[in-house]
DNA sequence: CCAATAGTGTCTTTCAGACACTATATA
DNA sequence: TATATAGTGTCTGAAAGACACTATTGG
């Protein structure tokens, strides 16, 4: 907190950066934009932008999500957004002293192509094709790594895995989400029992998926609970 | 991230605020300072201050910790410091637009009185004597609540409980830390087995505590591991 | 029929929680 | 001695992991 109004306080630019994750074709993807201007022109970066003068941090994150990706608008599909952490190394932006508040966003795989009102296009990038660092602009590789770690951890003890699923989904769909995020195979039978017996995680709709080989799977909606107790276990539940 | 250098970006003041926790006499305490100046003059607040122009956020947190509390200096006792989250509601400081990056600090109970170079004295305040809100300045009640929640959660699956202990401590001391942070009684025998059998949590010194009634307890040092697997359980382990 | 996926039952192992019991100090 | 605390042993129930087995679809 400021000590007294007479004390000098240097000006900072404050931005939000978004780690937007989804699962497509059984693999984890992150939403990236190609930078048009220097520095790091032509490099991939996390979507984000400046916080407005009278805007709350979370509001800025939602606005950037809408503007740059088309996600999260009113009447749109459910997306989860939470603050990740802040990054403020003195030289993280060569132009000015900047503090970035990063947000983590988990979204279902959307049939509509992701495109913002912004001229720059946002693309889903398969995380398997990005190495350590991956040539991302600024300190975005570190932010992305922190976001991945957070997402992997939260799938253990919260219901956030369902945030990657559409409004109605099968247990197998949810299992594929876990396999994609954790990068490990999971026994379908034990996962089925765990998911369906965890109170409040899934709400059965009574409807069944069709058109796939094998016995039709029941469709579920997201439950209301936030935390899973006992948690999902990462070593092949 | 900034889009182009031509875009306007409003100036923000960036501060760090510290949630410094310790366990004294079996009860959880937080370090608070009394504000001397308006706004909120005379009210209790979290220690903190402005981030300097060329200073990393974590460096600013460490500096404020030293300046305002005398904790964390070179050769001092071990303290744990981690970023908590950021707070940037437009009107959180009536003087100017401010974003605060909060840090959580866990410290052992120090025999030396806590006093900073600053004229204002920092005091350990028993959390049981602070209500919901507790009359804290700014949004510090919310920050404190978030810090408590983080500390309680991290004691489950990390070794951070030992950060509340001095360099050498008994299993009973660590148990009292858990009881104070979680506010629940824990069975001493089951806790003893869990703590001593969790690989890497405790390093036996071979020495024993003396002067207390009963069989002398073995003294331990902090182990190297960060995470506890399987975790401590909160419902009276 | 077969292949594939959904979903159930059951066995083993691990571990939390309860608590009897032993060990070793102070008063 | 009594009392207090340290530390071990053991039983029970919950739940993870492995995996046999049944159920129900499409081809």
Sign of the dihedral through C-alpha A111, A142, B145, A201:
positive
Strand C-contacting residues in A 167-196, CB cut-off 7 angstroms: 170-172, 188-190, 192-193, 196
Local confidence band at B10 (pLDDT 50, 70, 90 cut-offs)? confident
User: pTM to 2 decimals?
Assistant: 0.93
**Mean pLDDT confidence for B114-126:** 70
CB contact under 8 A, B99 and A101: yes
Local confidence band at A96 (pLDDT 50, 70, 90 cut-offs)? very high
Segment B181-211, tens digit of pLDDT:
999 999 999 999 999 999 999 999 999 999 8
Q: What is the pLDDT of residue B161?
A: 98
Give contacts of A13 with chain B, Cβ < 8 Å. Answer: 2, 9, 11-12
State chain B's mean pLDDT as an integer.
90
The answer, yes or no, to whether residue B73 has pLDDT greater than 80, is: no
The answer, yes or no, to whether residue A30 has pLDDT greater than 80, is: yes
For residue A45, give the chain B residue with the closest CA: B1
For residue B68, give the chain A residue with the closest CA: A3
SS (H, E, C) chain B: CCCCCCCCCCCEEEEEEEEEEEEECCEEEEEEEECCCCCCCCCEECCEEECCCCCCHHHHHHHHHHHHHCCCCCCCCCCEEEEEEEECCCCCCCCCCEEEEEEEEECCCCCCCCCCCCCCCEEEEEHHHCCCCCCCCCCHHHHHHHHHHHHHHHHHHECHHHHHCCCCECHHHHHHHHHHHHCCCCCHHHHHHHHHHCCCCEEEEEEECCCCCCCCCEEEEECCCCECCCCCCCCCC
Q: What is the pLDDT of residue A119?
A: 45
**Mean pLDDT confidence for A197-225:** 95
**Mean pLDDT confidence for A50-56:** 95
Segment B134-188, tens digit of pLDDT:
799 999 999 999 999 999 999 999 999 999 999 999 999 999 999 999 999 999 9
**Mean pLDDT confidence for B86-96:** 96
Segment A109-145, tens digit of pLDDT:
976 555 555 546 788 999 999 977 779 999 999 999 9
Give the architecture-level CATH label for domain A13-141.
Alpha-Beta Complex (3.90)
Over pLDDT 90: what percentage of chain B?
78
Q: What is the pLDDT of residue A3?
A: 45
Local confidence band at B13 (pLDDT 50, 70, 90 cut-offs)? very high
What the block records as the tokens of A93 is: 């932006």
Which residues 59-118 of B are in CB contact (within 8 Å) with A? 83, 85-90, 93, 95-101
Q: What is the pLDDT of residue A133?
A: 73
Q: What gap in Å lies between CA A97 and CA A63, rounded to an integer?
A: 23
In chain A, where the domains are located = 13-141, 157-222
Distance from CA of A145 to the nearest CA of B (A): 16
CB contact under 8 A, A85 and B83: yes
Nearest nucleotide relative to A198: CA against C1': D15
Length of chain A: 237
State, as a whole number of angstroms, the distance between the CA of B229 and the C1' of D6: 25
Classify residue A25 as exposed, middle or buried by CB count within 10 Å of its CB (0-12, 13-18, 19+): exposed
Q: Which nucleotides of D are covered by protein (CB under 7 A)?
A: 3-10, 15-21, 23-27
Local confidence band at B78 (pLDDT 50, 70, 90 cut-offs)? confident
Q: What is the pLDDT of residue A132?
A: 76
**Mean pLDDT confidence for A81-98:** 96
The answer, yes or no, to whether residue B19 has pLDDT greater than 60, is: yes
Q: What is the pLDDT of residue B72?
A: 73
Query: Which residues is A19 bridged to in the sheet?
Result: A104
Nearest nucleotide relative to A197: CA against C1': D15
Classify residue B16 as exposed, middle or buried by CB count within 10 Å of its CB (0-12, 13-18, 19+): buried
Q: What gap in Å lies between CA A76 and CA A34, rounded to an integer?
A: 25
The answer, yes or no, to whether residue A184 has pLDDT greater than 60, is: yes
State, as a whole number of angstroms, the distance between the CA of B71 and the C1' of D12: 47
Which residues 152-211 of A are in CB contact (within 8 Å) with B? none
Q: What is the pLDDT of residue A22?
A: 96
Q: What is the pLDDT of residue A76?
A: 73
Whose tokens are 């947190």? That residue is B61
Domain A157-222 sits in CATH at 1.10.10.10
């Amino acid at each position: 907190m400021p000590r007294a109004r007479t004390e000098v306080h240097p000006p900072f630019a404050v931005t939000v950066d978004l780690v937007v994750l989804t699962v497509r074709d059984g693999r984890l993807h992150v939403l990236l934009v190609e930078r048009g201007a220097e520095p790091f022109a032509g490099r991939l970066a996390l979507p984000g932008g400046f916080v407005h003068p009278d805007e709350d941090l979370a509001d800025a994150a939602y606005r950037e999500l809408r503007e740059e990706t088309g996600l999260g608008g009113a009447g749109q599909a459910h997306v989860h957004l939470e603050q990740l952490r802040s990054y403020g190394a003195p030289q993280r932006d060569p132009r000015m002293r900047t503090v970035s508040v990063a947000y983590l966003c988990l979204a279902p795989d959307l049939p509509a192509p992701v495109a913002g009102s912004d001229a720059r296009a946002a693309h889903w990038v398969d995380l398997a094709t990005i190495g350590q660092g991956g040539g991302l602009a600024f300190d975005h590789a570190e932010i992305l790594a922190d976001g991945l770690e957070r997402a992997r951890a939260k799938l253990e003890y919260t219901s956030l895995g369902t945030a990657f699923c559409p409004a109605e989904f099968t247990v197998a769909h949810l299992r594929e989400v876990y396999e994609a995020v954790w990068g490990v195979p999971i026994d379908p039978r034990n996962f089925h029992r765990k998911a369906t017996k965890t109170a409040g995680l899934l709400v059965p709709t009574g409807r069944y998926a069709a058109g796939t080989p094998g016995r039709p799977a029941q469709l579920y909606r997201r439950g209301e609970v936030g935390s899973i107790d006992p948690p999902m276990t990462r070593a092949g539940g």
